[in-house]
Homo-oligomer: A and B are copies of this chain.
């Protein structure tokens, strides 16, 4: 696994040290908005992430305390990944990425999600954080 080094003490820079690549925030997106929680589910996303990259990013995210890894309730050969509060706090970042992408890039965004975000951003953020929290308890 790549070791994380801090390039400066600027908050933007330290955030990007953890989240600043093309895959990490997609994993978090899948957990928050698609309710995914297993390795196999993450592999099935439209962006087709490579298996070694996924394994590496999950390990970094666990090490950095954004998610926890536990043996699944139904199968011992499966793991369940859940967001911690630190991980849940990335939801506002992901939401801003959704809004920017939907406005400025050719995308196909979920209309109901877009309506929800535009009618009340912070309410939507809290709703998805709460949904993910409930998943973590189940």
Q: Is A21 an interface position by the 8 A CB rule?
A: yes
Instruction: Determine whether the beta carbon of B92 is less than 8 Å from that of A12.
Output: no
| Whole-angstrom distance between the Cβ of A88 and the nearest chain B Cβ | 11
Number of copies of this chain in the oligomer? 2
* Contact surface of A with B, Cβ cutoff 8 Å: 6-22, 25-26, 29, 45-48, 86, 89-90, 92-109
Q: Which residues of B contact A11 (CB under 8 A)?
A: 97-102, 105, 107, 109
Given contacts A8-B46, A86-B104, 18 further A-B contacts (CB under 8 A): A9-B46, A9-B106, A9-B108, A11-B98, A11-B109, A12-B25, A12-B94, A12-B101, A13-B101, A14-B105, A15-B100, A15-B101, A15-B105, A16-B22, A16-B97, A19-B100, A20-B21, A89-B100
